Amino acid sequence: MRFLLGIRVAGLLTGALLGYALLPSASSGSGPGPLAAAIWLAAWTLVGFSLPPYLAVVPTRVISREFAALSGGQMAVTALAGLCGALLGLVLGLPLGNLPGVAGIFVTLLVNLCFGAGMAGLALTRSADLLQALGRPVSLRAKRSPAATGGLVLDTSALIDGRIIEIIRLGLTDGRIAVSRASVDELRMLADDPARHDRGVRGQEMLMALRAMPRIRLEVPATSRASGRDADARILTLAATREAVLVTTDAALERAAVGAGVAVVNVHILADALLAVVSPGDRRRVHLTELGREPGQAIGHLPDGALLIVEGAADLVGEDVEVTISRFARTSGGRIVFARPSAPARR
């Protein structure tokens, strides 16, 4: 607060001095009257008092928040790109320096600023790709920042899936939950799409259920808005900045999080870990509901919901059959159990 007040006072004095310096001289015969001069100085003083926080403090806070989640390598790439952009702008802006008056200086500085900021922004959004191309490991996790709060970050797929909500309801988390603004926007777009309306509505209902839970502190940071590929980058940055665990069912986002050094939990894997333990050789009685993809296969489900594929049981679809577990397979969608009929199938 004192720092902000100091910035305003310095701006006030600067505005007053600048207004006085720009005030037309009365000796030239065209100087303003006392009232006009007072209004002129008051206007410059007000501008000097009001603008500095928005020109210095606010941009500094935004830049600090964006850089808090970057590693040293990403910061170095961004700074180097900004320097190269400024030098390129200087070379290209030299001919513009010959413009008459202050226009030459102003245009040259503007070109330098645009090239420097543009190159730095481009490098910032693609710093991870640049470091990977150089063979450097990429990590979004930097020094612990004031924004680091821990907890969970839920992406769109985890909200639509909904199973993590029941785990949160049981009180197995510390109650700190964050959802990216990009995920909220994506749920709204899904709900507006007739073909994917149900998925979007389900995700929104899960979000409303989170808001209604006692002892849950749900946050939707306004700075995490993005779309497309950048939406995943925003979600990863949000999880890294908060030093939180990312919860998802998206296998591609899970791999990206592992590569970026962000803690991640796939809901499918978590659900598999909570399934009842079955071992090869165990016998279970199941109801076969439909034919499988491969010839001779039939499909059923174990009591815990795990998908069961019974080989050599195509003729038993629609019946309750005793099967013997033979093997398992783990996919991005969860665990698949394979079995054979304990008794030979009818021919």
Burial pattern 144-153, b for ≥16 Cβ within 10 A else e, equals ebeebeebbb
Query: In the beta sheet, which residues pair with residue 179?
Result: 154
Half-sphere exposure of 30 (CA within 13 A, CB side): 2
Which ranges of the chain does DSSP label H, i.e. alpha helix? 2-22, 34-50, 52, 58-67, 72-93, 102-125, 127-133, 156-161, 163-169, 181-192, 197-212, 229-242, 251-260, 267-273
How is domain 152-272 classified at the architecture level of CATH? 3-Layer(aba) Sandwich (3.40)
Domain residue ranges in the chain = 2-24+32-133, 152-272, 283-341
Is residue 224 within 8 Å of 234, Cβ to Cβ? yes
What pLDDT tens digit does each residue of the chain (347 aa) get? Answer: 565 666 677 767 777 777 777 766 544 455 566 777 778 778 878 877 777 666 655 555 656 655 655 566 667 777 787 788 778 877 777 776 676 666 666 667 777 777 777 777 777 666 666 666 665 555 544 444 444 457 899 999 999 988 888 888 887 777 889 998 888 889 999 999 888 898 999 999 999 998 888 888 888 887 655 544 577 888 888 888 888 899 998 888 888 888 888 899 988 888 777 766 777 888 888 899 999 888 889 999 887 677 889 998 888 888 898 999 888 887 766 678 899 998 765 54
Task: Give every CB contact of residue 98 below 8 A, 6+ residues apart in sequence.
Answer: 104
How far apart CA 162 and CA 267 sit, in angstroms, is 9
- Topology of the domain comprising 283-341: OB fold (Dihydrolipoamide Acetyltransferase, E2P) (2.40.50)
Provide the token pair at 132: 């990977």
**Do 152-272 and 283-341 fold alike per CATH?**
no
Provide the token pair at 261: 């050094």
Predicted TM-score of the model (pTM): 0.48
How far apart CA 22 and CA 292 sit, in angstroms, is 84
